[in-house]
């Protein structure tokens, strides 16, 4: 078997050069930083999703409580929902108008459109602020 020719002055290499090792470390470090950034972003997003999902039932209960109120009798107030404090205020957006029944006749109520802003806090930590539009009503005549 013929022997391979060797050039004079060049030794047969084994392993990596220093430059190859540095390039490999830079590539590995860049990939690791990208994966860490992705992992960190996912953890932050997961924490936020858990916080928002715990707030949803409180917001629904607060909304139901506000829907049951007659805004003509109170313009602001506060109440508790599952241990969380809800502070609300209402402002008349559209003036009161006479209601009509389905046939177009004058109804028994006057209706006004309100903007209701409410904030939910738990243990002095604000969970969120929300805005609703609700109808306030006042009975002005009796059925004949």
Give pLDDT, residue 54: 80
How far apart CA 125 and CA 84 sit, in angstroms, is 10
- How does 69-86 read in b/e, with b if 16+ C-beta sit within 10 Å? bebbeeeeeeeebeebeb
Give pLDDT, residue 48: 87
Starting at the edge strand that comes first in sequence, how are the strands of the sheet with 76-81 ordered? 76-81, 84-100, 106-122, 125-139
Give pLDDT, residue 104: 85
Give pLDDT, residue 12: 65
Give pLDDT, residue 63: 93
With 0.85 as the threshold, say if the pTM is over it.
no
In the chain (144 residues long), the average pLDDT of successive 10-residue segments reads 57 77 94 95 92 86 91 90 93 90 88 94 89 90 82
Give pLDDT, residue 1: 55
Give residue limits of the domains in the chain.
18-139
Give pLDDT, residue 41: 94
- Report the Cα 39 to chain-centroid distance in Å: 21
């Amino acid at each position: 078997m013929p022997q391979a020719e060797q050039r004079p002055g060049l030794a047969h290499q084994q392993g990596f050069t220093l430059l190859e090792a540095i390039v490999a470390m830079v590539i590995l470090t860049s990939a690791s930083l990208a994966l860490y950034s992705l992992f960190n972003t996912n953890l932050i997003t997961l924490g936020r999703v858990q916080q928002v999902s715990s707030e949803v039932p409180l917001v629904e209960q607060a909304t139901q409580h506000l829907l049951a109120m007659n805004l003509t009798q109170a313009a602001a107030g506060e109440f508790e929902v599952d241990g969380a404090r809800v502070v609300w205020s209402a402002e008349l957006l559209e003036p009161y108008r006479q209601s009509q029944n389905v046939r177009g006749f004058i109804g028994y109520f006057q209706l006004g459109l309100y903007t209701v802003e409410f904030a939910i806090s738990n243990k002095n930590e604000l969970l969120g602020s929300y805005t609703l539009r609700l109808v306030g009503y006042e009975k002005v005549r009796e059925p004949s």
